Amino acid sequence: MALTARGLRACTAFCLALTASLTLNAQTIRIGQSADQTGPVAGITKELNSGIMLYLDTVNRNGGVHGQKIEFVTLDDGYKPEQAKANVDKLIKDSRVVGLLGILGTGVNIAVSPQVEAAGIPLVGPLSGSPEFQQLAGPHTYHVRASYGDEVRAMIRHLTSSGITRIATVYMDNAFGKSALKHFEAAMADKQLSPTAMVPIGGPDFKGDAPVAALLKAEPGAVILLTAGKASVNFLKTAMDQNLRPLFLGLSVISASEMQAAIGKDVRGMVVAQVVPSPASGKFAIVREFQKAGSDAGTPLNTHLALEGFIAAKVMVEGLRRSPAPITRQSLQDALSGISRVDLGGYNIVFSATSRLGSHFVDLSMVRADGSYAQ
């Protein structure tokens, strides 16, 4: 059948659009993520992803990798393992997705780990310091943060060196909290100390007075929070309302800005473990790079979680750059597994044939009244 002039123009326009789309796809390296964007730890995702996007945008503005731009596809799992499994399945079925980056949460990462390994797709920088997850994960998972065990041990060393031995903990009653609790108990035993109290506070949305009442009765000198997201914020607000005021210490997945917004200046004095250097320090080259990227983009960032995202993205891009074009899941896996040691600017990542635990860096910060940190 002969085409009319209008039909010919329509066909030409369609073909040009299709060609442009195929060209875009051919020039794009797709990286996927499942993370909470609407649930109890959405604030953590927002901070982490701000750093991921800052680094990826910087790379893209400078020509990408092998002349290809990087596309970051993130799907909302609401901090629910089953939804995360569905998201990861969708990402795996997309043949253009060559790697996963920054999947968030212990329970979520434990749930999707078998899918990651079965598909042979590299996962870089999962946001979980659970030693159980780190031991469960196979050779396709590349960690860039210290474990919760490393963090808890650093906090207990700090407390005992300061003469504080009446130490209690509150923990989330899920995979994340129970994992961290085991390492709290082990670290206390190493110091020949018995916990003053170990109090569960339910799931990711803590509400209630009983845990605070139990701690008031125990009268600890310090309370280590094995919590994240809204559970941390809601617990601290209840504690302040009931005049529970020991020294509080939290894991790196606590957001000081969220806490300060909820309880104001009462956040002052809290100690938080950090798995990356201070984002305000010029001592580390990686921090100076982070600061410059934010300044150049007109979106300066100042949180540890954002810097962690920046570092995780940098490790992913290091793998992409070492992978020959065209990049595939297998070529990316081969490239990442070939990284024995890389200095990212004072922050070292070390992988081996038997270990993907890239870092054991832990520092402690004190929260100021405005939610910022002092080292």
Which tens digit of pLDDT belongs to each residue from 114-150? 999 999 999 999 998 887 787 777 899 999 998 889 9
Q: Are residues 155 and 249 in the same domain?
A: yes
Residue where one domain finishes, among candidates 274, 301, 316? 274
Give how far the C-alpha of residue 158 lies from the chain's centroid of Cα atoms, to the nearest Å.
24
Q: Are residues 100 and 175 in the same domain?
A: no
Structural domain includes residue 345: yes
Q: Which residues pair with 301 in a beta bridge?
A: none
Which tens digit of pLDDT belongs to each residue from 65-93? 999 999 999 999 999 999 999 999 999 99
Confidence of residue 35 (pLDDT cuts 50, 70, 90): very high
* pTM for this entry: 0.82
Amino acid, single-letter form, for residue 318: E
Q: Which domain range does residue 199 map to?
A: 148-274
Q: Are residues 180 and 224 in the same domain?
A: yes
> In terms of C-beta density within 10 A (0-12 exposed, 13-18 middle, 19 or more buried), how is residue 157 classed?
middle
Contact, 283 vs 260, CB < 8 A? no
Structural domain includes residue 127: yes
Structural domain includes residue 178: yes
The domain total for the chain is: 2
CATH number at residue 306: 3.40.50.2300
How high is the pLDDT of residue 315?
96
Structural domain includes residue 371: no
The per-residue pLDDT of the chain, averaged, comes to: 88
pLDDT at 57 > cutoff 50: yes
Structural domain includes residue 6: no
The distance between the two most distant Cα atoms of the chain, rounded to a whole number of Å, is 90
Give, in degrees to the nearest 5, the angle at Cα 90 between 88 and 95: 105
Which tens digit of pLDDT belongs to each residue from 335-352? 999 888 889 999 988 887
Which residues make Cβ contacts (< 8 Å) with residue 12, sequence separation at least 6? Answer: none
Which residues make Cβ contacts (< 8 Å) with residue 109, sequence separation at least 6? Answer: 103, 126, 127, 128, 130, 133, 137
Q: Which residues pair with 272 in a beta bridge?
A: 250, 365
Structural domain includes residue 136: yes
Q: Are residues 141 and 156 in the same domain?
A: no
Cβ density class 282-313: b for 16+ within 10 Å, e for less: eebebbebbbebbeeeeeebebbbbbbbbbbb
The two beta strands, 363-367 and 141-142, are unpaired
Residue where one domain finishes, among candidates 254, 274, 294? 274
Report helix, strand or coil for 205: coil
Residue where one domain finishes, among candidates 274, 292, 313? 274
Q: Are residues 162 and 210 in the same domain?
A: yes
Which tens digit of pLDDT belongs to each residue from 316-336? 999 999 999 999 999 999 999
Q: Are residues 54 and 105 in the same domain?
A: yes
Contact, 247 vs 307, CB < 8 A? no
